[in-house]
């Protein structure tokens, strides 16, 4: 069974349940700003009958700014990476690792990046259809969530860096930038989905006030990059198919590996009463990820790098593709606990928290094994140490909204022919074309937008994910109902019930220039669901 929009459905990605063992007892010695030191004491080495032992979650290498500058070379290139699967994965990477290195900066810093495109050249294709995958080894760079300039050689997604070329970026981070978790990934229209599903993504940490909260800075910090690496039977990235037959998909795959910092099913060791700070990024191309930690509450500090007024204590979080959540976990009694992932897709947005209206029937085929609920990380609670505290108040990021200058209705649309066959995705029925005049916004004003999931005549539960560059937004209403607590985000689900809407307010402040808003189900974006915007003086 094949579904052209969502990929081949006969997936073989049944997770291997890994055996466990008592291993390293970790003692956290603390330290503000996430610069914690950890001493390790070897535990008993027990025999493991089958399978690979869970390895302790490793952190991506951290590149930290010095004297106001972070200067990095970032190379997009084919790579062969051991993620703990039966065979190494052959895919596209940044610097031959999954995920890319973590960049750590402070407000006021400058990010200088030499982006080297060492991906293979493709045969010349002419003419190019902008609503189909194309030039998927041409690249560029987006710093998702950063409030920075979209112009010139800053966060400019209209740049095209061909295979063999290098582009120099210089991105100035404002002095008043919020501290939080952001990320980088390619954003060249036509090849975004291919490069992100390959694994090209990395975390960006901006330090800030949140790092000075005593209970937060005492907690060991873990960056947790969740990826959904899409592969064929031989653990290799498959090329997109611009004009698939009815038996083919635009983005073929036969399995998805849900990796955590580039590894399948690692573990985190904590002691009872220990508090850790997990900074979680959903870097999947399009998968929704609902996460639950057995036996433990999740104390949410921030969404999309934007700190809440107080920790939000929940038992599950739902991350759309592109979302980040930062939370504290306080380890309970000794034992093993699974972090359980419930994946959803745009066609099967089954993850909890998504349905805000009445359920509607779906015309989509049954979900494949790639959407099975599965553990993706194990927490081993062992040993002992000082009881750690949880904060009660946080330095919220909640700026006032400027007077609303304009209200706008926006629809995320799917165009089909008379036989219900897919034509393209669009915004208000119009697929992306960089040559079209952008929607213009005056600098220093605020707007209120209502984004609606327009009816898809074939897939009635077809969800999308709204994302806008440069400026985050404040969600005030869902389906016309005012929220008691508005939600600051840069990425927000547009739920799968036909006609669902999200209303938000946003300041268009500080930066002029051209950028985009689009669906963060990146296959939808490459197939047209994107619009150019321009903030003008
Ligand atoms: Cu979409």
Output the pLDDT for position 60: 98
Residue 156 DSSP label: -
What residue has token string 């956290």? 28
Sign of CA dihedral 221, 340, 395, 491: positive
Tell me how far the alpha carbon of residue 256 lies from the centroid of ligand 1, in angstroms. Answer: 19
Mean pLDDT of the chain: 88
Give the residues across from 26 on adjacent strands: 40
Separation of CA 350 and ligand 1 centre (Å): 15
CA of 402 to the centre of ligand 1 (A): 29
User: How many angstroms is it from 112 CA to the middle of ligand 1?
Assistant: 32
Contacts of 25 (CB under 8 A, 6+ apart): 40, 41, 43, 269, 271, 382, 383
Across 118-272, where does the E strand assignment appear?
142-144, 166-172, 180-185, 202-206, 220-231, 255-260, 267-270
Measured at the CA of 448, the angle between CA 443 and CA 451, to 5 degrees, comes to: 120
Structure tokens at 261: 């910092």
In this prediction, residues 83-108 reach a mean pLDDT of 98
- Distance between CA atoms of residues 102 and 334, nearest Å: 31
For residue 486, the CA-to-ligand 1 centroid distance in Å is 23
Sign of the torsion angle spanned by Cα atoms 376, 381, 382, 385: positive
Look at residue 2 and tell me whether its pLDDT is greater than 70.
Answer: no
Distance 323 CA to ligand 1 centre (A): 15
Per DSSP bridges, beta strands 530-536 and 439-442 are parallel
Q: Separation of 426 CA from ligand 1 center, angstroms?
A: 9
**354 alpha carbon – ligand 1 mean position (Å):** 14
CA of 268 to the centre of ligand 1 (A): 34
In this prediction, residues 31-44 reach a mean pLDDT of 34
Cα 267 to averaged position of ligand 1 atoms, centre (Å): 33
Q: Quote the ligand 1 centre to 264 CA distance (angstroms).
A: 27
In the structure encoding, which two tokens stand for residue 117, read together?
């495109």
Kindly give the distance from the C-alpha atom of residue 524 to the centroid of ligand 1, in angstroms, as a whole number: 5
Q: Minimal CA–CA distance to 330: which of 13, 21, 28, 1?
A: 28
Residue 364 clears pLDDT 90, i.e. is over it? no
Look up residue 133 and give its two tokens. 């995958």
Give the pLDDT confidence score for residue 443 in this predicted structure: 98
| pLDDT 10s digits, 461-512 | 789 999 999 999 999 999 999 999 999 999 999 987 767 899 999 999 999 9
Going from the Cα of 413 to the center of ligand 1, the distance in angstroms, rounded, reads 8
pLDDT band at 368 (very low <50, low <70, confident <90, very high): confident
Given a contact cutoff of 8 angstroms between Cβ atoms, the answer to whether 174 and 399 are in contact is: no
List all residues 6 or more positions away from 265 whose beta carbon is below 8 Å from its beta carbon.
Answer: 15, 16, 18, 54, 84, 375, 376, 377, 378
If pLDDT is split at 50, 70 and 90, which confidence band does 28 have?
Answer: very low
- Cα 463 to ligand 1 centroid, rounded to whole Å: 6
Ligand 1 centroid vs 218 CA: distance in angstroms?
A: 39
HEC letters along 379-390: EEECCCCCCCCC
- Cα 300 to ligand 1 centre (Å): 26
Q: What is the pLDDT of residues 151-175, one digit of tens each?
A: 999 999 999 999 999 999 999 999 9
State the distance from the centre of ligand 1 to the C-alpha of 247, rounded, in angstroms: 22
Question: What pTM value is reported for the model?
Answer: 0.90
How many Å lie between the centroid of ligand 1 and the Cα of residue 317?
20
CA–centroid distance, residue 519 to ligand 1 (Å): 5
Candidates 111, 136, 116; CA nearest to 75 is 116
Tell me how far CA of residue 491 lies from CA of 98, 101, 160, 487, in angstroms: 23, 22, 24, 11
CA of 192 to the centre of ligand 1 (A): 13
With cut-offs at 50, 70 and 90, classify the pLDDT of residue 303: very high
Centre of ligand 1 from the C-alpha of residue 252, in Å: 18
311: CA distance to ligand 1 center in Å?
A: 30
pLDDT given for residue 423 in this prediction:
95
Edge-to-edge order in the sheet of strand 288-293: 267-270, 374-381, 335-344, 288-293, 317-319
Q: Is 212 helix (H, G, I), strand (E, B) or coil?
A: helix
């Amino acid at each position: 069974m094949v579904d052209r929009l969502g990929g081949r459905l006969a997936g073989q990605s049944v997770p291997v349940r890994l055996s466990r063992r008592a291993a390293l007892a970790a003692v956290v010695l603390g330290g503000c700003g996430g610069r914690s030191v950890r001493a390790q004491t070897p535990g008993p080495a027990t025999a493991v009958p089958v399978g690979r032992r869970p390895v302790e979650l490793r952190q991506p290498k951290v590149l930290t700014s010095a004297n106001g500058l972070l200067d990095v070379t970032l190379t997009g290139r084919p790579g062969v990476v051991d993620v703990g699967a039966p065979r190494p994965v052959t895919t596209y990477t940044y610097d031959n690792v999954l995920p890319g290195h973590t960049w750590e900066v402070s407000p006021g810093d400058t990010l200088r990046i030499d982006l080297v495109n060492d991906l293979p050249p493709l045969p010349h294709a002419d003419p190019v259809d902008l609503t189909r995958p194309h030039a998927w080894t041409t690249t560029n760079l987006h710093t998702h969530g950063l409030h920075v300039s979209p112009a010139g050689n800053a966060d400019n997604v209209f740049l095209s860096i061909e295979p063999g070329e290098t582009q120099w970026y210089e991105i100035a981070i404002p002095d008043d930038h919020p501290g939080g978790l952001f990320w980088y990934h390619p954003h060249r229209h036509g090849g975004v989905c291919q490069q992100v599903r390959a694994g090209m993504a990395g975390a960006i940490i901006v330090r800030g006030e949140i790092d000075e909260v005593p209970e937060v800075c005492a907690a060991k910090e873990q960056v947790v990059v969740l990826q959904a690496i899409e592969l064929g039977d031989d653990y290799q990235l498959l090329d997109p198919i611009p004009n698939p037959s009815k038996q083919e998909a635009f983005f073929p795959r036969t399995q998805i590996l849900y990796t955590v910092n580039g590894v399948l099913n690692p573990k985190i060791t904590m002691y009872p009463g220990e508090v850790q700070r997990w900074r979680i990024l959903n870097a999947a191309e399009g998968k929704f990820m609902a996460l639950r930690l057995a036996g433990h509450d999740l104390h949410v500090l921030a969404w999309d790098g934007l700190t809440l007024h107080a920790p939000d204590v929940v038992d599950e979080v739902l991350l759309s593709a592109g979302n980040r959540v930062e939370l504290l976990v306080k380890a309970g009694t000794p034992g093993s606990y699974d972090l359980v992932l419930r994946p959803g897709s745009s066609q099967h947005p089954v993850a909890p928290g998504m349905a805000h209206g009445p359920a509607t029937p779906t015309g989509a085929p049954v979900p494949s094994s790639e959407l099975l609920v599965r553990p993706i990380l194990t927490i081993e609670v062992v040993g002992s140490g000082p009881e750690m505290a949880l904060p009660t108040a946080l330095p919220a990021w909640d700026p006032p909204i400027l007077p609303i200058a304009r209200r706008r209705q926006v629809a995320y649309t799917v165009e089909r022919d008379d036989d219900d066959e897919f034509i393209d995705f669009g915004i208000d029925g119009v697929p992306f074309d960089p040559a079209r005049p952008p929607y213009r916004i005056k600098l220093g004003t605020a707007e209120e937008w209502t984004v609606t999931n327009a009816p898809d005549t074939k897939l009635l539960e077809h969800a999308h994910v709204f994302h806008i560059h440069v400026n985050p937004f404040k969600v005030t209403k869902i389906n016309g109902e005012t929220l008691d607590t508005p939600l600051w985000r840069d990425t927000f689900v547009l739920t799968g019930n036909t006609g669902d809407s999200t209303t938000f307010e946003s300041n268009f402040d500080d930066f002029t220039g051209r950028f985009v808003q689009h669906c963060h189900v990146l296959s939808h974006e490459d197939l047209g669901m994107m619009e150019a915007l321009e903030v003008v003086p």
